[in-house]
Amino acid sequence: MPVALLALAIGAFGIGTTEFVMMGVLPQAAADFGVSIPSAGHLISAYALGVVVGAPLLTAAAVRLPRKTMLMAMMGLFIAGNTLFVLSPSHELGVLFRFVAGLPHGAFFGAGAVVAASLVDRGSKAKAVSMMFMGLTLANVVGVPLGTLLGQQFGWRATFAVVALIGVVALAAVMKLVPHQGAPVGASLRGEVAAFRKPQVWLALAIVTFGMGGGFACLSYVTPMMTDVAGFDPATVTLLLSLAGVGMTLGNFLGGRLADRNPTPALCGALCSLAVVLAMFTVTAGSKIGATITIFLVGVTSFMVGPILQARVMEKAGGSPSLVSAAIQSAFNIANSIGAYLGGVVIAGGLGLVSPNVVGALLAALGLSLAVVAALTERKEKAATIPVAPAEEIAPAEQPALV
């Protein structure tokens, strides 16, 4: 794999850490700003909103820029947003600056995925994309636990100061390691938008939204599941979340390799496995050993889907992959919101703390159904493009010679 992927992975690590570590230092931020925990939760949703808004808008605005320049600009905005958040004097400004920090998230991953795929041959594109996203999954294994610990010891501002420093390292790595590729040939906003006319692109976005929403329905409420149902001590939850992060890293690794071999069966297999694992979690959540194994498997199966669909949607977009690649990140965050919302609805309805797993299994099954529709549609499209050879004239059979 090209060394330039290391620069992209460092950027992904910083972005993944700033997105998820807020959950770990939320009590410290709430106390510092003098607001309740639910009000401090706006710091999480503001970032997600920034991702959804920024991914298409920034990608569209910079469609004619060289992709290396785009990556550097997005990482500069990332550094600025996190630095301003560290200096926030009030909760309201903190929410605003979290929104700013989220703006470059999707655009960076969108451009980064295209760059990663361009650095390798056709048979290794999904693997290269998964190597970049390895930084995002490693953030859950290393960045979030260490950032949470740092915030508990020195305050949440120290955590995000380090995040901004990671952004500086990533910016320097992109400048040094990513080759200059020039402006995309023939790139235009009209061409990028035209890619959304293809049904396969919308199917891929829908699969991300519902399929990965299944995983987030579970992961959003995994802490009360582990403490109140499985019986773990709250102090061990960080280790369990790290275990889930290890599973995500492994799933991302496997997804990238399977996608280069045969993406459609790999996608259907990952979604089917996720639905089965989530359904199984409704039973295993009552056992410490069973819950530990299952939360690892949830991480594996849910994050196998990402690199497969990222590579798939870029292929379907043809020569205009940047905007649809960034849209995948918007769909990812919508999946996060849908999964968390529906999981909260069933808990509030009195169905118990394991009920989000049922919701997650149903969402994953819906994603699997959409994947099957996408596969059948693709097969029909290919069949329609195969030219039919003209029927050959059949010569009359020779008459046997009379003796």
CB atoms within 10 A of CB 303: 29
pLDDT at 183: 60
* Domain span holding position 379: 187-383
Let me know whether 165 and 222 are in one domain: no
In a domain, 208, yes or no: yes
| Number of domains into which the chain is organized | 2
pLDDT digits (tens, 9 = 90+) for 265-310: 888 999 999 999 999 999 998 899 999 999 999 989 988 887 787 7
Let me know whether 150 and 37 are in one domain: yes
Let me know whether 351 and 274 are in one domain: yes
Q: DSSP character for 142?
A: I
Question: Could you say which of 179, 209, 238 is where a domain stops?
Answer: 179
Residues 105-116: b if buried by 16+ CB within 10 A, e if exposed: bbbbbbbbbbbb
In a domain, 38, yes or no: yes
User: What spatial distance separates the first Cα and last Cα of the chain, rounded to whole Å?
Assistant: 75
CB atoms within 10 A of CB 260: 22
CATH of the domain at 272: 1.20.1250.20
In a domain, 206, yes or no: yes
Contact between 246 and 309 under an 8 Å Cβ cutoff? The reply is no
pLDDT at 215: 87
In a domain, 403, yes or no: no
In a domain, 112, yes or no: yes
- Angle, helices 42-61/322-348, rounded to nearest 10 degrees: 160
pLDDT at 279: 94
Contact between 161 and 41 under an 8 Å Cβ cutoff? The reply is no
HSE at residue 213, side-chain half, CA atoms within 13 A, is 26
Let me know whether 118 and 245 are in one domain: no
User: What's the CA angle centered on 262, arms 381 and 322, to 5 degrees?
Assistant: 70
Name all contacts of 171-175 with Cβ < 8 Å and 24+ positions apart: 171/11, 171/72, 171/75, 171/76, 171/79, 173/6, 173/7, 173/10, 173/11, 174/7, 174/8, 174/11, 174/68, 174/71, 174/72, 174/75, 175/72
Let me know whether 155 and 209 are in one domain: no
Let me know whether 169 and 298 are in one domain: no
Let me know whether 284 and 355 are in one domain: yes
pLDDT at 187 over 60: no
Let me know whether 29 and 139 are in one domain: yes
In a domain, 242, yes or no: yes
Place of tokens 């294994």: 141
CA pair distance 118, 107, nearest whole angstrom: 17
pLDDT at 182: 63
Distances (CA, A) of 245 to 38, 148, 198, 241: 25, 14, 34, 6
In a domain, 394, yes or no: no
In a domain, 347, yes or no: yes
CA pair distance 243, 384, nearest whole angstrom: 46
Residues 52-74: b if buried by 16+ CB within 10 A, e if exposed: bebbbebbeebbebbbbebbbbb
Let me know whether 174 and 224 are in one domain: no
Question: Could you say which of 128, 150, 179 is where a domain stops?
Answer: 179
pLDDT at 358 over 80: yes
CA pair distance 342, 213, nearest whole angstrom: 9
pLDDT digits (tens, 9 = 90+) for 20-74: 888 778 788 888 999 886 678 788 878 888 888 888 888 888 777 888 898 999 9
pLDDT at 255 over 60: yes
Let me know whether 164 and 250 are in one domain: no
CA pair distance 41, 28, nearest whole angstrom: 12
Let me know whether 202 and 172 are in one domain: no
**345 — pLDDT class (breaks 50, 70, 90):** confident
Let me know whether 170 and 213 are in one domain: no
Of 302, 305, 297, 298, the closest CA to residue 263 belongs to 305
DSSP string, 355-390: HHHHHHHHHHHHHHHHHHHHHHHHHHHHHHHSPPPP
Of 142, 374, 133, the closest CA to residue 239 belongs to 142
pLDDT at 394: 46
